[in-house]
Amino acid sequence: MRSVLRKLFRYLAFDHGRTVGLYRRFCNPDGAEWARYLKRRDVFYAMGEHCSVQVNVTITDPKYVRLGDNVRLTGCTLFGHDGSVNMINRAYGCKVDRVGKIDIRDHVFIGHQAVVLPGVTIGPNAIVAAGAVVNRDVPKNLVVGGVPAKPICSLDELVARLKARTAELPWAHLIAQREGGFDPELQDELDRMRIAYFFGDETTPAV
């Protein structure tokens, strides 16, 4: 019965934009599926291919947001406007506005609890670290972090370090065999090797 309901809620959400809350609750879409839903419903100004948007991402003004190819958003917040203008307009009897686009180019990752402010372009080929506050453009091939976000290293440098470190891991051969980011046939062995590496051969959990 639940599988029938999941199919129904997925169909109504994707094709008609209805029962979205029930779809999220019963289907628990992963980032790739939720991105497909957002693309199907034309939520953003534009969206490329192979994106992943976790359901806990907050986007205040999606029509001002453009995503390129292979953009991955994890628990971050994208602000398309400055809400303080509402207070200013009432307090000062004026009518001011402050909005901006967010343009996220190809191959960009934005980490958990990062905040991107209006008027920012990120990438291509860039990473925004978890918890960063991005208040200015992030050039291509750059990793940024901090409040406000500042350069940490180039993406090329990070990739080279990750390749070298991965090659030294006991489970590097499993990563090389894996299709995509997850392979259920390899996961149990991968978990076993990682746990042994992290905690040694101790069988008694730490208290």
Which uninterrupted H or E stretch holds 142? strand 142-145
pLDDT band, very low/low/confident/very high, at 52 (cuts 50, 70, 90): very high
pLDDT band, very low/low/confident/very high, at 153 (cuts 50, 70, 90): very high
Residue 30's pLDDT is 94
Q: Residue 102 class from Cβ within 10 Å (0-12 exposed, 13-18 middle, 19+ buried)?
A: buried
Residue 207's pLDDT is 41
Is residue 81 flagged as an active site residue? yes
What percentage of the chain has pLDDT greater than the value 90? Answer: 79
Rounded Cα distance between 17 and 34, Å, is 13
Q: What are phi and psi of 3, to 5 degrees?
A: -65, -35
Residue indicated by tokens 């042994």: 196
Catalytic residue among 50, 81, 112, 173: 81
